Amino acid sequence: MQHEGSIFIAGAAVQWLRDGLGIIGSADQTADLAQQADLEQQLYLVPAFTGLGAPWWDPSARATLFGMTRNSGPAELARAALDSICLQTHDLMQAMRSDWPDASISLLRVDGGVSKNAWAMQRLSDIVGLTVQRSSSSEVTALGAAWLAGHGVGCWPGPEQFAAEREIGQGFHPSVGADQNFQLVRGWKAAVRATIQFASQVA
């Protein structure tokens, strides 16, 4: 069974660090920065630049940043941006499990620009508690569109054969227990609720 959810801002949070704040020159710098972050600081970036998608569904929400100190810098912001992708995905996984309690979810397939970031993919695996399988192609959407066109004119195989022949990239496996993420997830949910509350009070 395949499931889908909508997150409004994921990789665009990294673009904001680059284009909006100018603290990185390219997206791939976030991996090194995130590894340098002070582990005593836990920043939460709720990237509601255009509202919040699933499962919160609040179009009036706007981005917030919680937990900053005078010592917070580019490394902590980079980790917060990558964490926001992972934590929003965690929210989606929880919503899917709630909607389909009998469904078995053991694997998360990923593609796109952020999937090239090995630190973020390991962090994602740890936070959602699932194996994360990175596609060999970072642009699977384009590949799917090409397959549809080719299949439509009869020069590419059917979906089953196409899926079977698709090259699989690197896999990332959870390296921490769920209990180690408890505080992180609890803080994230508090940050999201505060973001929504603020939006409701100033609307």
Domain assignment present for residue 28? The answer is yes
Domain assignment present for residue 6? The answer is no
Domain assignment present for residue 5? The answer is no
Q: Which helix (H) or strand (E) holds 125?
A: helix 118-128
Domain assignment present for residue 94? The answer is yes
Domain harbouring 24, CATH code = 3.30.420.40
Domains in the chain, number: 1
Domain assignment present for residue 3? The answer is no
| Mean pLDDT (whole number) for 136-164 | 62
Domain assignment present for residue 136? The answer is yes
Q: Which pLDDT tens digit goes with each residue over 28-68?
A: 999 999 999 999 999 999 999 999 999 999 999 999 999 99
Which range of residues forms the domain containing residue 145? 12-202
Q: Which pLDDT tens digit goes with each residue over 94-147?
A: 998 888 888 788 899 888 889 999 999 999 999 999 999 998 655 555 555 565
Domain assignment present for residue 19? The answer is yes
Compute the distance between CA of residue 110 and CA of residue 130 in angstroms, rounded to an integer: 12
Please provide the average confidence, as pLDDT, over all residues in the chain: 88
Please list the residues that pair with 132 across neighbouring strands.
108, 172
Domain assignment present for residue 7? The answer is no
CB 191 within 8 A of CB 64: yes
Per residue in 127-152, is it b (16+ CB within 10 Å) or e — as a string? bbbbebbbbeebebeebeeebeeeee
